[in-house]
Structure 1
Amino acid sequence: MRCVFVQFRCTPGKTYEVASAIWDREVVSEMYSTSGEYDLLAKVYIPEEEDVGHFLSSHLFDIAGIVRTLTTMTFKAF
């Protein structure tokens, strides 16, 4: 499994709805509300055989209320 972190910027006033929709899809292992440029931060484990972009697009990025995302790939843990 590959670990990626995804930040979500939401339509103003829709953060809780977006968070609930993300959590309901059961593809994130952790999710946090954040301050700053983005509203939510999610930790996602993606199966090795899956394409990261396709997986995220088909499982998360179609949720209404998401304005922008930022995906951070991770590499070997120290």
Structure 2
Amino acid sequence: MITAIVLVHAAPDKLPATAQAIAEIDGVSEAYSCAGEIDIVAIVRVPDHQDLATVIPERINRVPGVLKTDTHIAFRSYSRAETESTFSLGES
């Protein structure tokens, strides 16, 4: 599974609709509206790199209100949930 973090600059007057449209795209697992320089952060999870080429330039970038994107591909996860499950002995 490939994870990409997509930083989206969006038109201020279209922000809620743009964020919702991005969240509904297949391959986007989460979309967050943010304060600061970036308007929306989208987490994209797809099986392979070829799918990134479809989801980001062909779908996210074409959503009305998207002005610009900056994509970062993750190569390792350090989430607490994954760390805890790695060391779990199966006890509840």
TM-score, scaled to structure 1: 0.83
Which range moves more in the overlay, 53-62 or 5-14? 53-62
Higher-RCO chain (CA-CA 8 Å, sequence separation at least 6)? 1
* Residues paired across the two proteins, number: 78
C-alpha distance in structure 2 between counterparts of 1:63 and 1:54, whole Å:
13
- List, as ranges, runs of 4+ consecutive aligned residues in structure 1 with deviation greater than 3 Å: none
Q: Which has the larger radius of gyration?
A: 2
TM-score, scaled to structure 2: 0.72
Q: Structure 2 stretches of 5 or more lacking a match?
A: 79-92
Deviation for aligned residue 1:49: 5.5
Which range moves more in the overlay, 44-53 or 25-34? 44-53
Deviation for aligned residue 1:54: 3.9
Q: Structure 1 stretches of 5 or more lacking a match?
A: none
Residue identity (%): 29
How big is the alpha-carbon RMSD for the aligned residues of Structure 1 and Structure 2? 1.7
